[in-house]
């Protein structure tokens, strides 16, 4: 069997790890597709995506169309991308957190279609933010799926799954674990592609959930929520959009980076500080106590609770 000719489409660090794993496994990736450079940092200078940065190190051609829809807002860019892909005639396209919708002509162009690395156990958490929504919902496990892409939102047949237990990870920590699993998984699938050893498994129509895009407003919380809900959201929204909560004596809410649930009940109003120590700031929620261990004032730096308490004028 001749070597696969692969196009890789992805943008953030999650995708870069998969792209690098494919290269390290010896596959031929003559073309990378990624999002256009975006302003970033204090100077808001244009910055290439992690995938583009890796491709440039490898000396691989990169294209960055604003759209792939031939009837969309940028038809000329889509048509140019189509010309490039048709001239290349790839065997397969690997897609990981690319950020553009793939129209039918893209799905049909490669010999083996388009494979997506999705960070959930489908059909649970189709959509934009599967890692964060799994933590927020209190799921006990999640994982990655290598999926044969179809025109619907994450509806294609699953070729491979790898599971990951959810303990007390933040979204950032779980992201890194799933990125590694995804990188391993796509290499496993590519090695078997065209051999007849892969069995596509249609997704169940039961248990479908959607992982809606994160909104900044979701991080503005109150102490009237159950303590488990607060704890899960703090982990799910770390690092973005972040959770902010009010504390007595402070004009603005603080960003809470790390916390734990204390298994105790107190007969005080939600939002009451019930104890402070080197271990944390204990605050009453609707049905229990949350210990804040790491936090940040607006415009300030992240601090462990002990250091924050020493400078607290509340």
Give the mean model confidence (pLDDT) for residues 293-311. Answer: 92
Please list the residue range(s) of the chain that carry CATH number 3.10.25.10: 216-310
Q: CA-CA distance, 58 to 267, in Å (whole number)? A: 61
Note the residue count of the chain.
314
**Tens of pLDDT, residues 216-245:** 999 999 999 999 999 999 999 999 999 999
What burial letters (b/e) apply to 141-164, b meaning 16+ CB within 10 Å?
A: ebbbbbbbbbeeebbbbbbbbbeb
Report the CATH architecture of 5-211. Answer: 3-Layer(aba) Sandwich (3.40)
The ranges of the chain annotated as CATH 3.40.50.170 are: 5-211
Confidence bin at 276 (pLDDT 50/70/90): very high
Environment class of 291 (CB within 10 Å of its CB; exposed 0-12, middle 13-18, buried 19+) = buried
The H-assigned helical ranges of 140-249 are: 171-192, 227-236
Model pLDDT, residue 314: 45
**Banded pLDDT at 273 (limits 50, 70, 90):** very high
122 is an annotated ligand-binding site residue: yes
Higher pLDDT, 298 or 255: 255
- Residue 43, pLDDT score: 80
- Provide the pLDDT for residue 39: 87
Prediction pTM value: 0.94
Helix axes 13-24, 50-58, angle to 10 degrees: 30
What is residue 59's predicted lDDT score, i.e. its pLDDT?
A: 95
pLDDT above 80 for 73: yes
The whole-chain average pLDDT of the chain stands at 95
Residue 262, marked binder:
no
Q: Does domain 216-310 have CATH number 3.10.25.10?
A: yes
Over residues 299-311, the mean pLDDT reads 91
E strands along the chain, which residues?
Answer: 5-10, 28-33, 38-40, 45-47, 61-63, 92-96, 114-118, 126-127, 141-148, 158-165, 210-211, 243-245, 254-262, 273-277, 280-284, 289-296, 303-304
pLDDT band at 3 (very low <50, low <70, confident <90, very high): confident
120 annotated to bind ligand: yes
Confidence at 1, pLDDT banded by 50, 70, 90? low
């Amino acid at each position: 069997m001749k070597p696969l000719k692969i196009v890789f489409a992805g943008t953030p660090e999650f995708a870069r790890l998969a792209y690098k794993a494919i290269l390290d496994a010896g596959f031929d990736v003559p073309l990378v597709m990624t999002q256009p450079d975006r302003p970033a940092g204090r100077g808001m200078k244009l910055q290439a995506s992690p995938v583009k940065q890796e491709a440039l190190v490898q000396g691989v051609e990169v294209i960055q169309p604003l759209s792939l829809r031939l009837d969309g807002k940028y038809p000329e860019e889509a048509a140019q991308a189509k010309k490039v892909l048709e001239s290349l005639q790839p065997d397969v396209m690997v897609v990981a957190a690319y950020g553009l919708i793939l129209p039918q002509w893209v799905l049909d162009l490669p010999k083996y279609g388009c494979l997506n690395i999705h960070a959930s156990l489908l059909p649970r958490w189709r959509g934009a933010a599967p890692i964060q929504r799994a933590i927020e919902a209190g799921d006990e496990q999640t994982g990655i799926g290598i999926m044969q892409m179809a025109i619907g939102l994450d509806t294609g047949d699953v070729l491979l799954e790898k599971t990951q237990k959810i303990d007390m990870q933040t979204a950032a920590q779980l992201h890194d674990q799933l990125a590694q699993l995804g990188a391993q998984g796509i290499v496993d699938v590519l090695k078997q592609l065209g051999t007849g050893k892969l069995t596509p498994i249609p997704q169940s129509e039961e248990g479908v959930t959607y992982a809606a895009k994160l909104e900044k407003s979701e991080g503005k919380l109150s102490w009237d929520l159950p303590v488990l809900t607060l704890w899960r959201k703090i982990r799910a929204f770390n690092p973005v959009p972040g959770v902010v909560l009010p504390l007595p004596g402070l004009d603005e809410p603080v960003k809470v980076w790390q916390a734990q649930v204390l298994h105790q009940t107190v007969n005080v109003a939600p939002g009451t500080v019930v104890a402070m120590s080197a271990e944390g700031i204990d605050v009453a929620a609707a049905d229990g106590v949350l210990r804040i261990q790491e936090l940040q004032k607006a415009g300030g730096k992240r601090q462990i609770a002990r250091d924050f308490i020493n400078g607290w004028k509340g």
